[in-house]
Amino acid sequence: MLALVLALALGVTLGLLTNVSVPVGWLTYLGVAVLAAIDACLGGVKASLEETFDDKVFVSGFLTNTLMAAFIVYVGDQIGVRELYLAAVVAFGMRVFENLGTVRRLLFRRWGWE
């Protein structure tokens, strides 16, 4: 668990140090992609707590979810339904909260607080 927190902190530090900035045109795409990535990571944590974690599933899910999320927003832009990104945001947002709830409950069980 500590290693995961450290990895997140390292990513943030790396981002701050390299001083990257997303081009304005890519903002919506990357925003939704980041949401999908957060969802995938929470799913991974949940699976590991349930002891059903499979790294192949995690990596493929991480990649396809982020890419597809960005792609859906792109398609929405192309066909004139710019609000399509809302669908992705709602779907991933709900999944993030669901996963968060499950992870919380699993952690409580593991730590014997339940």
Residues that bind other proteins (CB under 8 A): 3-4, 6-16, 19-24, 26-27, 30-31, 33-34, 37-38, 40-41, 44-45, 48, 53, 55, 58-59, 62
**Could you tell me if 40 and 58 are in contact, meaning their C-beta atoms sit under 8 angstroms apart?**
yes
Closest approach of other proteins to the CB of residue 23, in Å: 7
Nearer Cβ to other proteins (83/114): 83
Which residue lies nearer to other proteins by CB, 15 or 101? 15
Q: CB-wise, 25 or 114, nearer to other proteins? A: 25
Pick from 16, 4, 59: which is nearest to 37 by CA? 59
Rounded least distance, CB 73 to other proteins, Å: 13
Residue closer to other proteins, measured from CB, 51 or 114? 51
Q: Please state, in angstroms and as integers, the Cα–Cα distance from residue 15 to each residue in 9, 24, 36, 38, 42, following that order.
A: 10, 17, 18, 16, 21
Chain CA centroid to CA 91, Å: 12
Nearest to 68 by CA among 44, 95, 22, 32: 32
